[in-house]
Structure 1
């Protein structure tokens, strides 16, 4: 079974160019995807398989068929999730706090992947679960999943180039003095616990930009952008400067159960260039109920203070 990746009629601009040149420069396909197309005889010119070295003529019909893939290693389960947007190439979801994105050792079921694969199976969609990026288990917010190999390669290149627009909202302990700032600190594994990351000289380069959106007597609400994509980066950097997230069981220093029962971090904005249309896509997600409730508790705790708003 094959899925149609592209179908186009060759115009004067593309006439005379080799197919491989059109695939690489016009359609922005990676060499790996092109190799998969040719190996599966998925490059059709006027209905017949052809070589990518063939030169196109105006009016030619070019179709690209890629083998359909399934996530055969992921058990379909009826796990509810919130779909924000979906087309033949991408699925954008809003992940709830507590839901793991992908099966891992010790968590083979009950993940977002299990739920998405089940939903696709119920609707007759043949696709492989390919998350372009990850969100921590106890972080909520927007996540994009590629539905075919080309979409994943295309979006992954944007992720590597840091051109995917990702913004987070967090509520941290303590009052940040500056309205904005850049935290720079290499991140690596802790010597004491392999699950934990710390800022250390021999770690991987990492930087996080923040902007204060509201101050409270005992905390600060901030918007953050990542200039690198290290594991637990926001959580590690905020702890490093003395302002750990509320509800962060791994990096926090206090019991926040009376304030919030999850870490106060939400992926609120996601933007990328669509792998097929080239259109700029932008999605925004409101602050979840638990974080709104935390902000309300913090506001009540500093009633009478007129200088706590930015």
Structure 2
């Protein structure tokens, strides 16, 4: 499949171009093979998008010939409700026409909430998109808790978000974290496979429970140490699923809550947030299939916990 991406300066609609490779194939079938979702096709039809073959508008029943140039113009997107356009600082690790990879500091929400309606990553990305003249809302691909730092990915368009969602469900998006936990973790390497669900007595807290969603975390020990005579362990974690608070819940279930994670049994005597950082993000580019790999060093607060032991 020959595919190209363009952003037309005159027409601000997000546009993808494809070259047909099968004689007689209906446009609808080709679009499915090119992973254009039914939801996107509905939006194109009713919300101001456009399908053209060799620059002529066509519907999805149009038969294609080899070499036909197909253009898919997606409708302009509007900012999601609840998002506020703000112009705060963003640490950009990577950017192209499709995705934005950021290094998030601790103490900043990924998306706005009732408790923290402003200064979120999403609000700042809205402002950044506005500065670029990009007619899109914010699509978070990999979300981090407010007090977790490190790498996260944002899709610049709903279709790109759809593609990254398919990749995540296929295990093609890999995230690795480092954390500092209370106590000395005995096993050097282990897998935690334990379902996670919402705790009955809380709208925020999660717990391991039989009726929860499947969750799988791999844990390996980097270093066991003492800080002020208290045993701690510096660990690496790889997520195979992406449940809310997954690492925090699994480590607390193991008897080793994250240092600083008061919600799940940690203490903030030495750090004012859970000691958790996304150090690595790997994924195939949603359009080119190029393998992308990004890394982020630990924040200074976690480094100090380790080096001052």
TM-score, with structure 2 as normaliser: 0.89
Q: Corresponding residue for 1:245?
A: 258
Q: Which of 207, 231, 234 is equivalent to 1:198? A: 207
Q: Corresponding residue for 2:289?
A: 278
* Residue 263 (str. 1) matches residue 271 (str. 2): no
Name the SS of the counterpart of 2:262 in structure 1: coil
Name the SS of the counterpart of 1:216 in structure 2: strand
Name the SS of the counterpart of 2:308 in structure 1: helix
How many residues get paired?
293
Shift of 1:190: 2.1
Superposed CA offset, 1:26-54 (max 9, x none): x2222222332344451111111102222
Distance 1:287 1:160 in 2: 28
Q: Corresponding residue for 1:303?
A: none
Q: Corresponding residue for 1:113?
A: 122
Shift of 1:83: 1.0
Q: Corresponding residue for 2:222?
A: 213
Q: Which of 166, 179, 187 is equivalent to 2:188? A: 179
Distance 2:35 2:131 in 1: 32
Name the SS of the counterpart of 1:67 in structure 2: coil
* Contact 1:70 1:129 survives alignment (8 Å): no
Superposed CA offset, 1:84-115 (max 9, x none): 11122111111111110111223221111111
Q: Which of 3, 13, 18 is equivalent to 1:3? A: 13
Distance 1:237 1:21 in 2: 43
Please list, as runs of the form range in 1=range in 2, the aligned pairs for 1:1-310 lying within 5 A after superposition.
Answer: 2-10=12-20, 13-25=21-33, 27-39=34-46, 40-71=48-79, 73=81, 74-217=83-226, 218-254=231-267, 256-257=268-269, 259-298=270-309
Question: Which moved further from structure 2: 49-58 or 86-95?
Answer: 49-58
Where does structure 2 lack aligned partners over 5 or more consecutive residues? 1-10
Change (3 A) 1:139 1:185: same
RMSD: 1.8
Distance 1:80 1:30 in 2: 34
Q: Corresponding residue for 1:302?
A: none
Q: Corresponding residue for 1:308?
A: none
Q: Corresponding residue for 2:8?
A: none
Where does structure 1 lack aligned partners over 5 or more consecutive residues? 299-310
Change (3 A) 1:41 1:50: farther
Distance 1:138 1:98 in 2: 5
* Contact 2:136 2:156 survives alignment (8 Å): yes
Shift of 1:72: 5.2
* Contact 1:81 1:96 survives alignment (8 Å): no
Shift of 1:2: 4.5
* Contact 1:4 1:63 survives alignment (8 Å): no
TM-score, with structure 1 as normaliser: 0.88
Shift of 1:210: 0.7
Q: Corresponding residue for 2:6?
A: none
Q: Corresponding residue for 2:3?
A: none
